[in-house]
Amino acid sequence: MSEPDRTRVPLTGWGRYPRRDCEVAAPTDPAAAAVARAPARPLIARGNGRSYGDASFGPGLTVDMRRLGRLIAFDEATGELTCEAGALLSEIVAVFTPRGWFPPVTPGTKFVTVGGMVASDVHGKNHHGAGSFCDHVLSARLALGDGTILTCSRAENADLFAATCGGMGLTGTLLTVTFRLIPVRSSKILQETVRAPDLATAIDIFESGSARTYSVAWIDCLASGAHLGRSVIIFGEHAAPQDLDPSEQATPFARPSPRGKRVPVDFPTVALNRLSVSLFNQVYYRLQKPGRKVVDIDPYFYPLDAIQDWNRIYGRHGFVQYQCVLPLETSRDGLTALLTEIARVGQASFLAVLKRLGHESFGHLSFPRAGYTLALDFPANPETFALLDRLDRIVTEAGGRLYLAKDARMRAPMLRAGYPRLEQFNAVRRRYGLDGRFRSALSDRLEI
Amino acid sequence: MTPKSVLILGARSDIGRAVARRFAQSGASVTLAARRADALADDLADLRIRFKVVAEAVEFDATDGAAERFFDGLPALPDVVVMVVGLLGDQAQSEADLDAANAVMAANYTGPACYLLAAARRMGTRGSGCIVGISSVAGDRGRQSNFVYGSAKAGFTAFLAGLRNRLFKKGVTVVTVKPGFVATAMTAGMKLPPALTAQPSEVGDAIFTAVTKGRDVIYVRPIWRLIMTVIRSVPETVFKRLSM
Ligand SMILES: Cc1cc2nc3c(=O)[nH]c(=O)nc-3n(C[C@H](O)[C@H](O)[C@H](O)COP(=O)(O)OP(=O)(O)OC[C@H]3O[C@@H](n4cnc5c(N)ncnc54)[C@H](O)[C@@H]3O)c2cc1C
Ligand SMILES: NC(=O)c1ccc[n+]([C@@H]2O[C@H](COP(=O)([O-])OP(=O)(O)OC[C@H]3O[C@@H](n4cnc5c(N)ncnc54)[C@H](OP(=O)(O)O)[C@@H]3O)[C@@H](O)[C@H]2O)c1
């Protein structure tokens, strides 16, 4: 079997920062992906490039997995699905929602691959109840870069499984993944919106809403003083047919026809200044009318997917996303400190999302842990980097960590402080001979 | 016509896979024909799971001269036959090694044409059906950089035109597909202009539409029709001096 053809192309993550010329192969045959060999050059798998920073490309060969996206087995009785790692979540939603099945955990965009979901151990708006994606993964087949393929699960090669779940592609190339979908009775969500005038109220609302299936808050992070942490909290439950409009009850899985908007060219960098963001946030805050309504899964889970290429609004220099999690005990003080600092600088964060996370995952480098996670976008520029260094100190002091799938700029000491199981992770990589064989721009930067 | 069954000859290719998906999406049963057909199990599973259609695989080699036996062996003659087989080869190698040149000619012209003759006779007898041949804009004019491939595709294009003419009165339609650049395994590693390069799924959509609407010749991205009109109109005395 010959190695797949390769080509050199400039690659970035979703934030379009940083950028690097990479050697890329896009195998159509799983055997070709499996035999892509290190250490002639180190490997890293790339899914749909929806991680924000530099996780999805590397100094050696970047293996684009999107052509390996076949659905291989589905059990109609249990919802157990086996697919190739390059399968897009959007296709899984399109195929299975009409049949009454939905992903157990979904990130805020459906344009991610299943391999990317495992490698980042993604969390959704239901993390407090359902855990992260890998909690629903039964097993995976992993190519180790020397021609070997191993199956790993909680029972088989369990150490490798724990390192792979959330392991950012650094333990091998996922070929197939088996996970369980959850049954749903419609393609609609019963949504309830609540306003919180400040952070303390927002946290109280989250804590008393722990029985809700989905919850997330959008924070107006330019609000300060008494309004600090002003937010809208959106709860959601999968709707039953009787929750729907009588005209829709006979066809509970009907979907609205797709309508894509696209950001055609890069916005001039000035478009997103403090004023426009402040306006956006105020308008958004006011638009979210408190109350209940039934909405389709798309606007509920994937509001940004309606605008293709929205990452271009930050202009050609790109942007960074900053997502941290703080332990429950330090969340109130830590979040206050973070939001105060952001409001003080007045840096424009287009989106600011707050969410309660449940328990820590078994994955060695998984991001989620019990506490609160805050995610913010900033244009990539020196002021942002200076601000983020200050936020790093607040996060580290609060005992928190940053999400690797979003990160483009933290440094190794912060990683080590936030991820105490890094040593276990490295030990597994050594045990299976994976260190050095799998490298990304992120792992080089963080000295993993 | 809304086809109920489709046979894809050369089904492992990116374009073949996309065509199979598009027809399966409309509910058609699908037969995938390729070399090493036993390795198509995952593709069959994918079609069955996504579209809940009947999907089967059969062993097929376009250059084995066994087309009659192949069609006799099928459980039923499908409504649509799509010939996807092709081989780009390497022009320099074809010029140096005549066996290599022959392989390119056989994979793009004689092999596919013989298989379609066998299909055409059966469809003509039945009095219905559609034959789709994937040819290439490379066959619209011979150029120094790929004329072994291009001339075989030119032969195939002429063959499809004649076949269309031949079958017209028998109720069988023939579609000639000129994809332009497509991002597939065949073109991996080449620097292709994005505006001129189609995704395999676009080719699948275009072929499905052409079959259901009874089109004759399609360029997947319409700009290619214009480009090739210009290229064809350059006088030979000028053209022979160009390095294209
Ligand atoms: C708008 C938006 C909203 C988001 N919301 C959320 C959210 O709510 N929750 C959340 O958790 N995340 C969220 N994310 C982040 C996203 O879910 C993750 O970054 C995810 O990993 C992206 O998947 P991908 O297929 O694009 O992977 P890529 O970005 O291409 O790669 C991500 C990582 O996965 C690895 N990888 C990919 N495929 C494989 C494979 N086959 N084998 C081994 N490793 C592989 C890569 O090496 C890399 O380290 C969001 C991203 C965007 C753009
Ligand atoms: N990609 C483009 O830009 C482009 C442009 C114009 C036209 N086309 C045409 O589109 C068609 C599909 O090409 P592609 O781009 O999808 O490339 P591809 O993946 O290389 O497809 C070619 C297919 O032909 C099959 N094949 C070759 N010789 C065969 C034989 N003797 N018997 C059976 N199968 C044989 C190969 O099968 P194996 O898997 O067994 O090798 C392969 O699946 C070809 O006819 C090509 O000429 C492509």
Q: Are A174 and A118 in contact (CB under 8 A)?
A: yes
Total domains, chain A: 2
Last residue of a domain, one of A184, A212, A240: A184
Superfamily of domain B5-239: NAD(P)-binding Rossmann-like Domain (3.40.50.720)
Minimal C-alpha gap between B50 and chain A (Å): 6
Q: Are B80 and B172 in contact (CB under 8 A)?
A: no
Q: Does A280 touch chain B (CB under 8 A)?
A: no
Residues A172 and A139 in one domain: yes
CB atoms closer than 10 angstroms to residue B21: 20
Report if residue A203 sits inside a domain.
Answer: yes
Residues A232 and A304 in one domain: yes
Q: Does A180 touch chain B (CB under 8 A)?
A: no
Q: Are A48 and A56 in contact (CB under 8 A)?
A: no
CB atoms closer than 10 angstroms to residue A329: 12
Nearest CA, atom 44, ligand 2: B86
Last residue of a domain, one of A165, A184, A203: A184
Residues A122 and A242 in one domain: no
Quick one: pLDDT at residue A281? Answer: 64
Domain ranges of chain B: 5-239
The more confidently predicted of residues B71 and B190 is B71
A378 sits in which H/E element = strand A371-379
Residue A131 to residue A133: CA distance in whole angstroms: 7
Nearest CA, atom 33, ligand 2: B61
Question: Among all residues of B, which ones are annotated catalytic?
Answer: 149
Among A115-119, A252-256, A356-360, A431-435, name the one with the lowest average pLDDT: A252-256
Quick one: pLDDT at residue A296? Answer: 95
Residues A208 and A268 in one domain: yes
Report if residue A214 sits inside a domain.
Answer: yes
Residues A177 and A193 in one domain: no
Residue B171 to residue A126: CA distance in whole angstroms: 57
What contacts B177, CB < 8 A, 6 or more positions away? B132, B133, B134, B135, B203, B206, B207, B210, B218, B220
Q: What is the mean pLDDT of residues A286-313?
A: 85
Chain A hits for B20, CB-CB cut-off 8 Å, are none
Range of the domain at A132: 71-184
Per DSSP, helices labelled H in chain B are 14-25, 41-51, 67-73, 91-96, 98-105, 111-126, 147-167, 200-213, 223-233, 236-239
Quick one: pLDDT at residue A2? Answer: 40
Q: What is the mean pLDDT of residues B113-123?
A: 98
Nearest CA, atom 44, ligand 1: A169
Q: Does A2 touch chain B (CB under 8 A)?
A: no
User: Would you say the ipTM is above 0.95?
Assistant: no
What contacts A318, CB < 8 A, 6 or more positions away? A12, A15, A16, A17, A18, A19, A311, A379, A380
Q: How far apart are the first and last CA of chain A?
A: 31
Report if residue A434 sits inside a domain.
Answer: no
Residues A228 and A377 in one domain: yes
Q: What is the mean pLDDT of residues A245-261?
A: 84
A85 in contact with ligand 1, CB cutoff 6 A: yes
Chain A hits for B43, CB-CB cut-off 8 Å, are 70
pLDDT digits (tens, 9 = 90+) for B63-97: 999 999 999 999 999 999 999 999 999 999 999 99
> Can you give the CATH number for the domain in which A322 is found?
3.30.70.2520
Give the mutation target among A17, A70, A109 for probing the ligand 1 site: most ligand atoms within 8 A of CB.
A109
Residues A220 and A308 in one domain: yes
Q: What is the mean pLDDT of residues B237-242?
A: 93
Task: For residue B140, give the 3-state DSSP assignment.
Answer: coil
Report if residue A371 sits inside a domain.
Answer: yes
> Can you give the CATH number for the domain in which A112 is found?
3.30.465.10
Question: For A285, how many CA atoms within 13 A lie in the half-sphere containing its CB?
Answer: 22
Helix axes B147-167, B111-126, angle to 10 degrees: 10
Q: Does A393 touch chain B (CB under 8 A)?
A: no
Quick one: pLDDT at residue A6? Answer: 61
Residues A121 and A203 in one domain: no
Q: Is the pTM for the entire model greater than 0.80?
A: yes
Report if residue A285 sits inside a domain.
Answer: yes
Selection from A94, A163, A52 nearest residue B49 by Cα: A94
